[in-house]
Amino acid sequence: MSIGIWTSLSKLIGEVVSVVTVSGEYVGVFDGEGKDGEIVVENPRMLIATEDGVGFARGICMTGMADAKMVRFKDYVFLTATNDDFAKSYREATSLIQRV
């Protein structure tokens, strides 16, 4: 999906999105808006910097469950469609099919 400006977040449902918060940046599949203004993201991954570049953590925080199925963000700075290169990398990192 190309990045653009939307009048409704519902157009992003099912798309790979980037969520920026005060604690970091997260990538996942947008599932919609909650009743209290929060946003729901499925299969979230925290973006992390490593010696080799940027990668995806297996979860959303150091002490949280690995491979969380869903997270609700109440306080976030912004939400946007993820650029195509990162979206492709995210899909590869979260795919159930493992390369051999």
Q: Is 4 a domain residue?
A: no
Q: Per-residue pLDDT averaged across 13-31, rounded? A: 96
Amino acid symbol at 22: V
Q: Is 75 a domain residue?
A: yes
Our count of domains for the chain comes to 1
Q: What angle do CA 6, 35, 82 make, to 5 degrees?
A: 35
Q: Is 99 a domain residue?
A: no
Q: Is 1 a domain residue?
A: no
The percentage of residues in the chain with a pLDDT greater than 90, rounded to a whole number, is 61
Q: Is 64 a domain residue?
A: yes
Q: Is 3 a domain residue?
A: no
Alpha-carbon distance of 67 to 64, in angstroms, equals 9
Q: Is 38 a domain residue?
A: yes
Name the band, by pLDDT with cuts 50, 70 and 90, for residue 97.
low
Which domain range does residue 17 map to? 9-94
Residue 32 is part of a domain; what is its CATH number?
Answer: 2.30.30.100
Phi, psi at residue 48, to the nearest 5°?
Answer: -130, 150
| Statement: residue 1 has pLDDT above 50 | no
> Using one digit for the tens of pLDDT, what is the confidence trace for 33-77?
988 889 999 999 999 998 999 999 988 988 888 999 999 999 999
